[in-house]
Amino acid sequence: MYGYTAAIKDISVKELGYDAAVIGGGAAGMAAALEFEAEGFTCAIIEREDHLGGILMQCIHNGFGLHEFSEELTGPEFAERFIERVIKSKIAVYLNTTVTRFTPLKELYCVSPSGAIKIKCRVAVLAMGCRERNRGNVRIPGSRPAGIFTAGLAQRLVNIEGYIPGKEAVIIGSGDIGLIMARRMSWAGCKVKAVVEIMPYPAGLTRNIVQCLNDFNIPLYLSSQTTGIFGNDRVEGIEVTPMENGVLAQEKSFRIDCDTVLLSVGLIPENELSKTAGIELNNVTNGPVVDSTLMTNMDGVFACGNVLHVHDLVDWVCEESRRTGRHAVQWLRGDRPLLQIRARAGSNVRYVNPTRIAPDRENHIYLRSMIVKNDAVMEIRLDNRVIRSKKERHVQPSEMINFKLSPKDFEGIEANSDSVLEFVIK
């Protein structure tokens, strides 16, 4: 283990060394970093904002921590539990510091208010979180007036800056941030006239549909596409067109007058840095491809949290990130799985993470359904042979399914490097 600071020839650049470097100081980054510290390894967190906690700091609503702390907390309260532990630890924290380049040699080139920094590490953890899709991603036609915001930006304006974006709003997309902002805007005195969702089912959690829409009598239009935004200087309204059998029913189009549009049309893992480093990305999740230890295709580089795949609960982010930290510690100690077999999404499964499974160890599996169904059955098949069947009371795309596979599930079954583990929902 090592931890040093040395000046190099270019006096404007500092070179620092740690056993582990964690990129991102949100819940995922802090949870992973604390595992290194607990095992006696030197660790640094690099965070581009001026504070730890990430997006949690603007999520002032409750509902966090039920699994992690067995109590209901707001986002800042949840984050503070981890921030306090990081501050009391020996973890080095670099705020207002942006990683501009990351190399296969695990060298991080950073810029900060104090100058340029080069950080060398033995292992790195990617924990950069995710960002919102914007209007350009969903290509809504119409004019480009003021009054169009992503739901997360509106959340920051209301909760942190103290501004109310408008008086009459429509939310496009039924993602959780948009649903929560429907309630928040209503509390702030804004009239939320509708939530418009292109899919035939909501994109957010059921509890948010109930608490944020139903409790406030806010209409939800499913199987409906926003086909236009009107207004010159400021938004004046939107056009909504229902979809029937996957086709726009133009004759049924209608207008909703409003002065504000909030976009809640999905999140994308923040992986520009990963791409430039040469890390392989999953074209479904837009996150890194990882093995059973949550290590990427680059030795000693791990990924966790929303940069790996977008979670629906921060509690699961922390659970996954702690495991990532423990796996990275094992890697530092030379501990590797004996065998890893390929895992893939089968019928009615959108994706499965990780994409490699170690039969000799406990594996935590995450997947998302492509269908909405009650009393579903998930089958796990090894080389087309069902090795486990699991009942699910209800599945839907917006709610992640997670469970464990242990060596016991593979007892009496021969698996090799060519074997394939397939996950199917029926």
* Sequential DSSP letters for 24-87: --SHHHHHHHHHHHHTT--EEEE-SSSSSSGGGGG--SS-B-TTTTSS-B-HHHHHHHHHHHHH
Question: For 341-425, which CATH class?
Answer: mainly beta
What pLDDT, on the 0 to 100 scale, is given for residue 2? 42
What pLDDT, on the 0 to 100 scale, is given for residue 415? 85
Name the region of 12 (left: φ>0; alpha: ψ -120 to 50; beta: rest). alpha
Give CATH 3.50.50.60 domain extents, the chain: 4-131+268-332, 134-265
* Assigned CATH topology for domain 134-265: FAD/NAD(P)-binding domain (3.50.50)
Q: Beta-carbon neighbour count of residue 67 at 10 Å? A: 12
Q: Taking the complete model, does pTM exceed 0.85, yes or no? A: yes
Q: What is the DSSP letter of 10?
A: S
What pLDDT, on the 0 to 100 scale, is given for residue 248? 93
* Rounded Cα gap, residues 138 and 219, in angstroms: 22
For residues 367 and 351, the answer to whether their CB atoms sit within 8 Å is: yes
Report the amino acid identity of residue 229: I
Interacting residues of 291 by C-beta distance below 8 A, sequence separation 6+: 337, 340, 354, 355, 356
* Rounded Cα gap, residues 169 and 258, in angstroms: 5
What pLDDT, on the 0 to 100 scale, is given for residue 13? 76
What pLDDT, on the 0 to 100 scale, is given for residue 9? 44
Give CATH 2.60.40 domain extents, the chain: 341-425
What pLDDT, on the 0 to 100 scale, is given for residue 140? 85
pLDDT tens for the 426 residues of the chain, in order: 444 444 334 456 789 999 999 999 999 999 999 999 999 999 999 999 999 999 999 999 988 999 999 999 999 999 999 999 999 999 999 999 999 999 989 999 999 988 999 999 999 999 999 999 888 777 788 888 999 999 999 999 999 999 999 999 999 999 899 999 999 999 999 999 999 999 998 988 888 999 999 999 999 999 999 999 999 999 999 999 999 988 999 999 999 999 999 999 989 999 999 999 999 999 999 999 999 999 999 999 999 999 999 998 999 999 999 999 999 999 999 999 989 999 999 999 999 999 999 999 999 999 999 999 999 999 999 998 999 999 999 999 988 999 999 999 998 888 888 999 999 999
320: tokens are 């996954």
**Thinking of the domain 4-131+268-332, which architecture would CATH place it in?**
3-Layer(bba) Sandwich (3.50)
* Rounded Cα gap, residues 35 and 25, in angstroms: 14
* Rounded Cα gap, residues 92 and 44, in angstroms: 5
